[in-house]
């Protein structure tokens, strides 16, 4: 099975790890990692692409004992709007993006990708772990409260 997952993955946190773990349970994973230019549309500051890619490779090869097939995303949907995929794994936050991808695929005459939505991983306070909360100094990458 060909599986798509995408994001900025910075900092790589337990929510991202749950997403990646689920993707690797489903099949051969293709990771769309946002380019620096695309990432800066969402975040004021982001680690360089190559640094994020190295971090992803370390996690996937070490913790998941798998190979990382990472493709640079220069636009929001990457190859999901043109290539065959069996699954796309998303969080509740990115679920609307997967829906949009399937609308674009439909308009192109392509079959939809089956969407696998995982739950948020929650921090100690019961709120979702997110890159924004980590960057704001509220929590660490495991959801431990810092203030």
Domains, the chain, in order of start with CATH, read 2-121 (3.40.50.620)
What are 93's two structure tokens? Answer: 């936050």
80 touches 113 (CB < 8 A): yes
pLDDT one-digit tens code per residue, 59-109: 999 999 999 899 999 999 999 999 999 999 999 999 999 999 999 999 999
SS3 49: helix
> Which tokens go with 10?
């910075």
- Model pLDDT for residues 58-72, shown as the tens digit of each residue: 999 999 999 989 999
Percent of the chain as helix, strand, coil, to the nearest 5: 35, 20, 45
Structure tokens at 132: 């924004």
Here the tokens at position 124 are: 């100690």
pTM of the model: 0.94
CA distance linking residue 59 with residue 45, whole number of Å: 22
| 84, HSE (Cβ side, Cα atoms, 13 Å) | 3
Beta strand 28-34 with 70-73 is: parallel
């Amino acid at each position: 099975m060909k599986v798509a997952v995408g994001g900025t993955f910075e900092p790589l946190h337990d929510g991202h790890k749950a997403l990646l773990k689920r993707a690797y349970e489903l099949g051969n994973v293709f990771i769309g990692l946002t380019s620096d230019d695309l990432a800066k549309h969402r975040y004021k500051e982001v680690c360089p692409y190559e640094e994020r890619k190295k971090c992803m490779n370390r996690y996937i090869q070490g913790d998941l004992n798998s190979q990382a097939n990472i493709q640079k995303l220069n636009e929001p949907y990457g190859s999901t709007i043109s290539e065959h995929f069996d699954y796309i794994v998303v969080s509740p936050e990115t679920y609307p993006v997967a829906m949009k991808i399937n609308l674009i695929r439909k308009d192109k005459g392509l079959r939809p990708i089956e969407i696998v939505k995982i739950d948020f991983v929650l921090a100690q306070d019961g709120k979702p772990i997110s890159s924004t909360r980590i960057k704001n100094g509220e929590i660490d990458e495991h959801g431990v409260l810092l203030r």
